Amino acid sequence: MAAGKMYLGQLATCLALAFPLNAASAASIVKVELWDKGAETPMATDMAFAKSGSDPSKATMGMRLSRSSVPAGIVIFQVKNSSKDTVHEMIVMYLADPTKPLPYIDKDSKVDEDKAGDKGEVSELEPGKSGSLQVPLKAGKYLLICNVTGHFAAGMWTQFEVTK
């Protein structure tokens, strides 16, 4: 009988280590809506992150988040493209220095993803489609962007924070 109790105790310990139940280990879910004012609306071109003098209220595209911060750990981004006629994507970029703009390739009208260091993405989503991304994130400042040609400069980005 004592051996049976010891075995059950060891089993419980192993299960607790394998499947922790504390809140810190649970994944955080962030719902992301990718939106635009329609393909017939001329795209803004001066709404890129950290661009001085830009007015975000004039953006023709953007992202809405269900929450703007989560604790460090696994983050699940559930992404929906609400556009009726435009393909969008969502890329997670770590901001080593949140006061500086992301590296940008002017001739391509895109962020240089190789230099910016993306952490993961939900690639091009057709209008009305959804996708998801599960990624471990450490504490820090992040930028979620759409890097389809011209969309980042049209205001399709939002800041996101991961706390300790």
Strand, coil or helix: what is 133? strand
Q: Domain with 66 in it: what CATH number?
A: 2.60.40.420
pTM over 0.85: no
* The pair of three-digit structure tokens given for residue 64, joined into one six-digit string: 């809405």
C-alpha to C-alpha distances, 75 to 7, 18, 132, 147, nearest whole angstrom: 35, 19, 10, 21
Q: How confident is the model at residue 76 (pLDDT cuts 50, 70, 90)?
A: very high
In a domain, 141, yes or no: yes
Per-residue pLDDT reduced to its tens digit, 93-105: 999 999 999 999 9
Q: Does any domain span residue 78?
A: yes
pLDDT tens track for 85-133: 999 999 999 999 999 999 999 999 999 998 998 999 999 999 999 999 9
Phi then psi dihedrals of residue 93, to 5 deg:
-115, 130
Q: Is residue 2 part of a domain?
A: no
- Specify if 19 maps to a domain: no
Per the DSSP assignment, residues forming a β-bridge with 48 are none
Decide: 122 and 133 in contact? Cβ < 8 Å.
Answer: yes
- The answer on pLDDT for 56 being more than 80 is no
∠ CA 137-138-142, nearest 5°, is: 70
pLDDT band at 55 (very low <50, low <70, confident <90, very high): confident
Residue 157 lies in a domain: yes
For residue 18, the surrounding DSSP H or E stretch is helix 2-18
Residue 132 lies in a domain: yes
Domain assignment present for 53: yes
Across 31-38, average pLDDT:
97
Quote the number of domains for the chain.
Answer: 1
Q: Across the strands, what pairs with 36?
A: 61
Q: Could you tell me the residue range of the domain that residue 136 belongs to?
A: 26-163
Residue 11 lies inside a defined structural domain of this protein: no
